[in-house]
Amino acid sequence: MNTIKKNWLTIALLTLYGLYAGIYIFQTSFISDGARFFVLFDDAMISMRYAKNLAEGFGLVWNPGETPVEGYTNPLWVIFMAFFHLFPIPAAKISMAIQISGAIFLGLNLIFVKKITENFSNKLFLPLLAMLLTAFYTPLNNWGLQGMEVSVLVLLLSAAVWKMLLDFQNDSFSPWPYLLIGFGTLIRVDMAVPYLVLLGFAFIFIPRYRWRHLTWGLGLLVAFLTSQTLFRLWYYGDPLPNTYYLKMGGLPLLLRIKRGLYVLYQFVWDMNWVLFVLPFAYLLFRRDRKTFLLALLLLGQIAYSVYVGGDAWEHKGGANRYVAVAMPLFFILFTYTVDQILLAIKNSIEIPNFPISAQTLANITLIAASLASLVNFNFIQNDFRYLERWLLLQQPIFIEGNKEAVRIAQAVRKITSPEAEIAVVTAGAIPYFADRPALDLLGKNDAYIAHLPSHTPSGLEDIRPGHMKWDYDYSIGQLKPDMILQLWGDKEVAYAYIEQYYTVVEVDGMLFSARSDSPNILWERVDSTP
């Protein structure tokens, strides 16, 4: 009977998440110039531009005909995106296919969350509560349903953990955990971090199969990393993605780690530090291989986030893209820890003549605590607007920026010929929908900018990985794009060039800088020149 009930409740929860994800995806869309647009998070739109060019036969490039630069960090995800560009799907709608894919991957991940939790306990509600916390955690949905590869990476990690736990249970060895996460390194190379954590754990804590784990683990890791490095050297001429040089180069290691610790502190405090440390505190009193594995993988992602200085979007709150991959493991540990604490209390306290059994009371308390924690985890930055977004009463974060990007792209198409080069800061949606050659002022798609030293920040709050390098003498003074759509950082140098070589124009209520002698500007379509 319990099995039937579990299956029905699981199906109901998966159905509920499917409905939630569908509404979420629709709420990311908006009407612009009479058409409904589905647009991904801007970094994902950069990948979409590479995917589009690949599908159209130009190769893995940001601008067709230019020297290739690897401005993405997710090769297989780009190829996955390119598949959808082989079909006659309108540009305004194709992002929806990626979002639906993300919802499917996140839904499949919930099944593995259930399987992992069942390895810890045979209680009816525990796997469902872990699924619930994972399914409706806002940051995971923000990344996964707005086009980032987080959706498939979290699935691969959860599947690998489940297979490793199954091997524990059966006292056997399988290379599948390494194959799954190794495949993940082809999506994002930094999946090597959980890969190494898993390998190190197996080598230390599974002595019977130690050398099999070492041989298979190291062999497959070398194969996965070598293959993509050789491709990178052949196609792009660099052993690492351009984004590595952009984010990791030019900023002192100590400063990067300070910033990583600073944003980690903000994340933990905002999440409620008591709830965050609860599973780790429990490990001090009761340790086994299963709980230790999950904790190590989560700590590995946290340590990696600190090492790279966190993400560029920490000011939005919640788990960043690195930590979010392991958050389902945290929710499994969290529900299991709360259950064990309640079990210990139940066994040590007797309440005579109480109308319900101690076990029933413990179960009710577990469910209530999990639901309260679910609200807490989504009450990001103590901002009620995040709760409204979580409840789908407001559009998700990043959508206002997407609306502006589409408006800018439409204005560019209105007043330029297809050959016009545009200079941008947000290098995803604007170039994708404008369909014009683009110049990336912050260097994600520009090898020269990426290899520059970072500008010196005034404080830890001002550090934004991937947004710390620019050179307007080069980008504007030397390259002279036809239009400058956005600027970033210290703008005085840019303003000097704009005053000398550009005309400020107004299009659909927006101001841009158009090069005064450009033959690619359709001047008769400009609304006005202030």
**Residues 72 and 202 placed together within one structural domain of the fold:** yes
Question: Alpha-carbon distance 46 to 72, whole Å?
Answer: 7
pLDDT tens digits, one per residue of 142-195: 999 999 999 999 999 999 999 999 998 888 999 999 999 999 999 999 999 999
pLDDT, residue 270, reads: 93
Compute the average pLDDT of residues 384-397.
95
Which two structure tokens, joined as six digits, stand for 108?
């499949």
Q: Per the domain annotation, does 332 fall within a domain?
A: yes
Compute the average pLDDT of residues 222-244.
95
pLDDT, residue 259, reads: 96
pLDDT classification of 354: cutoffs 50, 70, 90: low
346 versus 145: the higher-pLDDT residue is: 145
**Residues 455 and 313 placed together within one structural domain of the fold:** no
With the C-alpha atoms ordered 307, 311, 317, 322, is the resulting torsion angle positive or negative?
A: negative
pLDDT classification of 3: cutoffs 50, 70, 90: low
Q: Per the domain annotation, does 325 fall within a domain?
A: yes
**Residues 409 and 363 placed together within one structural domain of the fold:** no
2 versus 438: the higher-pLDDT residue is: 438
**Residues 68 and 212 placed together within one structural domain of the fold:** yes
**Residues 415 and 384 placed together within one structural domain of the fold:** no
**Residues 213 and 359 placed together within one structural domain of the fold:** yes
- Number of separate domains in the chain: 2
pLDDT, residue 374, reads: 95
pLDDT classification of 350: cutoffs 50, 70, 90: low
Checking if the pLDDT of 352 tops 70, the result is no
Burial of 360: CB neighbours in 10 Å, binned 0-12, 13-18, 19+: exposed
List the Cα angle 63/69/74 in 5-degree steps.
Answer: 100
Q: Per the domain annotation, does 484 fall within a domain?
A: yes
**Residues 404 and 378 placed together within one structural domain of the fold:** no
Question: Alpha-carbon distance 303 to 58, whole Å?
Answer: 38
List the Cα angle 263/71/458 in 5-degree steps.
Answer: 35
Q: Which of 360, 390, 420 is the last residue of a domain?
A: 390
Q: Per the domain annotation, does 160 fall within a domain?
A: yes
Question: Alpha-carbon distance 470 to 455, whole Å?
Answer: 8
pLDDT, residue 344, reads: 77
Among the listed residues 475, 479, 505, the one whose alpha carbon sits nearest the alpha carbon of residue 491: 475
**Residues 290 and 357 placed together within one structural domain of the fold:** yes
pLDDT tens digits, one per residue of 69-96: 999 999 999 999 999 999 999 999 999 9
pLDDT, residue 128, reads: 95
pLDDT, residue 457, reads: 86
Question: Alpha-carbon distance 244 to 236, whole Å?
Answer: 13
Q: Which of 350, 370, 390 is the last residue of a domain?
A: 390
Checking if the pLDDT of 46 tops 70, the result is yes
482 versus 364: the higher-pLDDT residue is: 482
**Residues 334 and 270 placed together within one structural domain of the fold:** yes
DSSP state of 416: B
Which two structure tokens, joined as six digits, stand for 235?
């196609």
Strand 438-440 and strand 422-424: pairing?
A: parallel
Q: Which of 44-58, 273-287, 342-356 has the highest mean pLDDT?
A: 44-58
Which domain, by its residues, includes 494? 399-525
Q: Per the domain annotation, does 530 fall within a domain?
A: no
Burial of 480: CB neighbours in 10 Å, binned 0-12, 13-18, 19+: middle
**Residues 310 and 204 placed together within one structural domain of the fold:** yes
Which two structure tokens, joined as six digits, stand for 330?
């945290």
**Residues 117 and 223 placed together within one structural domain of the fold:** yes
Task: Quote the distance between the C-alpha of residue 217 and its chain's center.
Answer: 26
pLDDT tens digits, one per residue of 109-141: 999 999 999 998 888 889 999 999 999 999 999
pTM: 0.95
Q: How many residues are present in the chain?
A: 530
pLDDT tens digits, one per residue of 205-219: 989 999 999 999 999
Compute the average pLDDT of residues 477-499.
95
pLDDT classification of 460: cutoffs 50, 70, 90: confident
To the nearest whole number, what is the mean pLDDT of the chain?
93
Question: Alpha-carbon distance 147 to 29, whole Å?
Answer: 13
**Residues 351 and 382 placed together within one structural domain of the fold:** yes
Which two structure tokens, joined as six digits, stand for 503?
């005309």
Helix axes 273-283, 358-378, angle to 10 degrees: 130
* Three-class SS state of 30: strand
Checking if the pLDDT of 430 tops 70, the result is yes
Q: Per the domain annotation, does 500 fall within a domain?
A: yes
Q: Per the domain annotation, does 375 fall within a domain?
A: yes
Checking if the pLDDT of 406 tops 80, the result is yes
Checking if the pLDDT of 377 tops 60, the result is yes
Compute the average pLDDT of residues 11-30.
97
pLDDT, residue 356, reads: 63
Locate tokens 């798609």: which residue?
445
In this structure, of 67-76, 418-427, 437-446, 457-466, the range with the lowest mean pLDDT score is 457-466
Checking if the pLDDT of 485 tops 80, the result is yes
Q: Which of 353, 371, 390 is the last residue of a domain?
A: 390
Helix ranges restricted to H, 29-175: 42-55, 75-84, 94-118, 125-135, 138-145, 150-170
Tell me, what amino acid is at 193?
A: V
Checking if the pLDDT of 355 tops 60, the result is no
